[in-house]
């Protein structure tokens, strides 16, 4: 039941508990209880909106930053990863296999600000061996949503 | 749709064949012409998935074009597609059809239905079918020179067709029984027991059964019974299936018929002279659908189910009786409490509230008093349509 509720919310966080109750064939009280518990268990972390900022004429620069890290004897990659996660500019942090260790998504108002973040904040952290910054030129799909041209095709009137 | 005499001008009557003159333009068509002239209409009218085809399926077709697969296929369809269809039917329903000789790939179930009728009907042969039913059923029988014979079904019986009612309609001219469950327009499904009873009637009277199972995968909380899987019926059954509804592939136009060899051979004759072969790239896409489309099907079914729950409850909350549809993606509420006929209801609802539904009468005389609401549309649209319908129903209710 919890999975059913989560699937609905993941797709549309504005679905009301009453709607979810109807969809899943249960009571609104039961849905509320499940959601409360899921929030408490940090299964549901937050309710957010997928915004296409490019359409708001709000300058925003995205960068993917590869970080090579010396793992710590006890904590491995975790303590550095947790530390860089604290920066508000950092949108995502992943531990990845391959030629680098951490992959970060960083968002800032300009390339200059992101460059500052890399040289002043990131590079100074002990254990960070090196970084490679890729500025995002265009976002096509984010959080599972196609940003432009995703309006879909209009159905033709047909007989069936 | 009831096939009525519609030709009035002398020229039309002379020029156009009597069979075609007998067909009335689909009752749905009229509404879509009206709909096309209006803006901001919420449509619960079109009976097709609101998804685009899962991308991996489309991608397979794109790749096939890049590789140059642009020629005809074998008349019966790409061998691999027939093999995959055979495997799929075996694994899903436990029915055995030999890929080479007992399966024909067609241009959707629409073609397969037409071929079935033309392959078996002699002039005047009768084909028994439930009423209401999908708009093409009676027309295909008439075009093939047969006579459709209606068996009423009703909300009280969950729109399941009774074997006894079928038997009562059997005459010496009866050739076949045509059923389509899960059903368009009602969303009804048939229990295994009821299908067994029909199988028994068919056997005793030596009738063919054509089972249109295009909606087989869209069932909610029940299991679909494939008619051909019932004991002892395979030799007298034509199973029709396709990809349009389960895999959101309506525009690809690909489906199949599975039947004993002599029937498929007969159908293939017509197919090779009129169609040649189903579209090549669509067949390639269908192979991909059968091989790896299962997760997408399940995801879509779960999603349809959520919307089904919302629309059925919503219609009932408005005060319309609505039996619980367990299949396809239609709800079929009864609108007689408004004092309007289903055509009046649909037309007024469209003009006054800009919501498109399809009058039940388009699907046969016994669809009168109902409207078909397709819930394969966004949840937001369903909710908005429901609130508009509520206003409308409360205005007219006696």
Query: Looking at beta carbons, which residues of chain B come within 8 Å of A23?
Result: 305-307, 309-310
* Residue bearing the bigger pLDDT, A147 or A102: A102
**Do the Cβ atoms of B309 and A8 come within 8 Å?**
no
Closest chain B residue by Cα to residue A5: B306
Q: Are B151 and B165 in contact (CB under 8 A)?
A: yes
State how far residue A15 is from chain B, nearest Cα, in angstroms.
9
Say how many Å lie between the first and final Cα of chain A, rounded.
Answer: 35
**Spatial distance between the Cα atoms of A137 and B67, rounded to a whole number of angstroms:** 32
Q: What is the pLDDT of residue B4?
A: 47
CB atoms within 10 A of CB B15: 11
**Spatial distance between the Cα atoms of A51 and A79, rounded to a whole number of angstroms:** 31
**Do the Cβ atoms of B309 and A25 come within 8 Å?**
yes
Question: Coil, strand, or helix at residue A76?
Answer: strand
Q: What is the pLDDT of residue A150?
A: 60
Residues near B286 by beta carbon (within 8 Å), at least 6 away in sequence: B81, B84, B105, B243, B247, B249, B252, B254
State how far residue B149 is from chain A, nearest Cα, in angstroms.
21
Q: What is the pLDDT of residue B12?
A: 62
Of B35, B43, B47, the CB nearest to A160: B47
A4 pLDDT band, cuts 50/70/90, is very high
Residues near A7 by beta carbon (within 8 Å), at least 6 away in sequence: B302
Tens of pLDDT, residue by residue over A67-112, are 999 988 888 899 999 999 999 999 999 999 999 999 999 999 999 9
> B49, B244, B306: best mutation site toward chain A, by most A Cβ within 10 Å?
B306
Angle at B47 between CA B43 and CA B50, to 5 degrees: 70
Give the residue from B223, B155, B82, B222 showing the smallest Cα distance to B367.
B155
**Do the Cβ atoms of B310 and A19 come within 8 Å?**
yes
Instruction: Return the exposure string of B307-332: e unless at least 16 CB atoms fall within 10 Å of the residue's CB, then b.
Output: bbbbbbbbbeebebebbebbbbbbbb
Closest chain A residue by Cα to residue B28: A159
Angle between helices B342-353 and B379-396 (to 10 degrees): 110
Q: What is the pLDDT of residue B7?
A: 47
Per DSSP, what are the bridge partners of residue A81? none
Query: Looking at beta carbons, which residues of chain B come within 8 Å of A155?
Result: 43, 46, 48, 50
**Spatial distance between the Cα atoms of B245 and B216, rounded to a whole number of angstroms:** 9
Q: Which spans in chain A are helix H? A: 2-11, 17-24, 28-40, 78-85, 111-116
pLDDT higher than 90, residue A29: yes
**Spatial distance between the Cα atoms of B68 and B58, rounded to a whole number of angstroms:** 16
**Do the Cβ atoms of A23 and B33 come within 8 Å?**
no
Q: What is the pLDDT of residue A73?
A: 85
Indicate the Cα dihedral angle B312, B315, B318, B321, nearest 10°: -90
Q: What is the mean pLDDT of chain A?
A: 90
Q: What is the pLDDT of residue A158?
A: 59
Report DSSP letters for B123-189, one per residue.
TT-EEEEEES--THHHHHHHHTT-EEEEEE--GGGTTPPPHHHHHHT--TTEEEEEE-SSPTTT---
**Spatial distance between the Cα atoms of B139 and B255, rounded to a whole number of angstroms:** 19
Give CA B382 to chain center in angstroms. Answer: 22
Question: Coil, strand, or helix at residue B66?
Answer: helix
**Spatial distance between the Cα atoms of B374 and B28, rounded to a whole number of angstroms:** 13
Question: Coil, strand, or helix at residue B255?
Answer: strand
- Section A122-141 average pLDDT: 92
CB atoms within 10 A of CB B88: 17
Going along chain B from its start, the domains and CATH numbers come out as: 10-52+296-393 (3.90.1150.10), 69-292 (3.40.640.10)
Q: What is the pLDDT of residue B40?
A: 84
Q: What is the pLDDT of residue B369?
A: 97
Of B135, B306, B313, the CB nearest to A159: B135
Residues near B236 by beta carbon (within 8 Å), at least 6 away in sequence: B202, B203, B206, B207, B208, B209
Could you tell me how many CB contacts below 8 A there are between chain A and chain B?
44
Angle at B29 between CA B27 and CA B182, to 5 degrees: 65
Q: Are B178 and B150 in contact (CB under 8 A)?
A: no
**Spatial distance between the Cα atoms of A6 and A24, rounded to a whole number of angstroms:** 11
A19 Cβ under 8 Å from any chain B Cβ: yes
**Spatial distance between the Cα atoms of B362 and B382, rounded to a whole number of angstroms:** 22
Q: What is the pLDDT of residue B129?
A: 98
State how far residue B206 is from chain A, nearest Cα, in angstroms.
31
The CA-atom distances, in angstroms, between B348 and each of B34, B373, B389 are 12, 15, 11
**Spatial distance between the Cα atoms of B215 and B184, rounded to a whole number of angstroms:** 8
Give the residue from B354, B330, B387, B320 showing the smallest Cα distance to B159.
B330
- pLDDT digits (tens), chain B, 398 positions: 444 444 456 676 689 999 998 887 765 666 777 777 888 889 898 888 888 999 999 999 999 999 999 999 999 999 999 999 999 999 999 999 999 999 999 999 999 999 999 999 999 999 999 999 999 999 999 999 999 999 999 999 999 999 999 999 999 999 999 999 999 999 999 999 999 999 999 999 999 999 999 999 999 999 999 999 999 999 999 999 999 999 999 999 999 999 999 999 999 999 999 999 999 999 999 999 999 999 999 999 999 999 999 999 999 999 999 999 999 999 999 999 999 999 999 999 999 999 999 999 999 999 999 999 999 999 999 999 999 999 999 999 86
């Amino acid at each position: 039941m919890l999975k059913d509720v989560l699937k609905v919310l993941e797709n549309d966080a504005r679905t009301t508990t009453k709607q979810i109750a109807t969809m899943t064939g249960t009571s609104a009280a039961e849905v509320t209880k499940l959601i409360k518990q899921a929030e408490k268990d940090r299964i549901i972390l937050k309710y957010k909106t997928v915004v296409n900022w490019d359409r708001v004429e709000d300058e925003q620069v995205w960068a993917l930053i590869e970080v090579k890290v010396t793992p710590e004897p006890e904590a491995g990659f975790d303590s550095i990863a947790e530390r860089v996660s604290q920066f508000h500019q950092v949108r995502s942090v992943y531990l990845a296999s391959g030629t680098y260790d951490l992959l970060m998504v960083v968002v800032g108002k300009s390339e200059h600000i992101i460059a500052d973040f890399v040289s002043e904040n990131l590079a100074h952290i002990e254990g960070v061996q090196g970084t490679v910054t890729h500025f995002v030129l265009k976002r096509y799909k984010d959080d599972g949503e196609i940003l432009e041209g995703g309006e879909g095709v209009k159905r033709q009137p047909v007989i069936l | 749709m009831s096939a009525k005499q519609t030709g009035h001008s002398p020229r039309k009557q002379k020029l156009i064949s009597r069979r075609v003159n007998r067909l009335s333009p689909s009752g749905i068509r009229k509404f879509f012409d009206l709909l096309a002239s209006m803006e901001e209409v919420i449509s619960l009218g079109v009976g097709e998935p609101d998804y685009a085809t899962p991308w991996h399926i489309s991608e397979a077709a794109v790749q096939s074009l890049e590789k140059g697969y642009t020629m005809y296929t074998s008349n019966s369809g790409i061998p691999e597609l027939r093999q995959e269809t055979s495997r799929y039917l075996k694994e899903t329903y436990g029915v055995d059809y030999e890929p080479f000789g007992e399966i024909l790939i067609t241009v959707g179930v629409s073609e397969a239905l037409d071929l079935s009728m033309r392959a078996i009907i002699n002039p005047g042969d009768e084909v028994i079918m439930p009423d209401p039913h999908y708009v093409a059923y009676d027309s295909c029988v008439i075009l093939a020179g047969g006579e459709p014979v209606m068996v009423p079904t009703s909300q009280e019986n969950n729109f399941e067709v009774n074997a006894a009612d079928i038997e009562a309609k059997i005459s010496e001219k009866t050739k076949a029984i045509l059923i389509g469950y899960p059903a368009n327009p009602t969303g009804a499904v048939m229990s295994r027991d009821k299908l067994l009873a029909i199988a028994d009637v068919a056997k005793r009277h030596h009738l063919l059964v054509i089972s249109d199972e295009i909606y087989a995968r869209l069932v909610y909380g029940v299991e679909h019974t494939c008619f051909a899987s019932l004991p002892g019926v395979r030799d007298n059954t034509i199973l029709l299936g396709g990809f349009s509804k389960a895999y959101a592939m309506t525009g690809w136009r690909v489906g199949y018929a599975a039947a004993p060899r002599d029937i498929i051979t007969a159908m293939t004759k017509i197919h090779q002279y009129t169609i040649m072969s189903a579209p090549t790239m669509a067949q390639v896409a269908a192979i991909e659908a059968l091989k790896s489309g299962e997760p997408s099907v399940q995801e879509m079914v779960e999603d349809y189910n959520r919307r089904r729950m919302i629309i059925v409850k919503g219609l009932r909350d408005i005060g319309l009786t609505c039996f619980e549809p367990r299949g396809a993606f239609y709800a079929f509420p009864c609108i007689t409490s408004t004092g309007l006929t289903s055509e009046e209801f649909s037309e007024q609802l469209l003009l006054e509230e800009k919501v498109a539904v399809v009058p039940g009468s388009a699907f046969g005389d016994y669809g009168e008093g109902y409207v078909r609401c397709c819930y394969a549309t966004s949840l937001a649209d369903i909710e908005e349509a429901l609130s508009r319908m509520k206003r409308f129903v409360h205005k007219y209710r006696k």
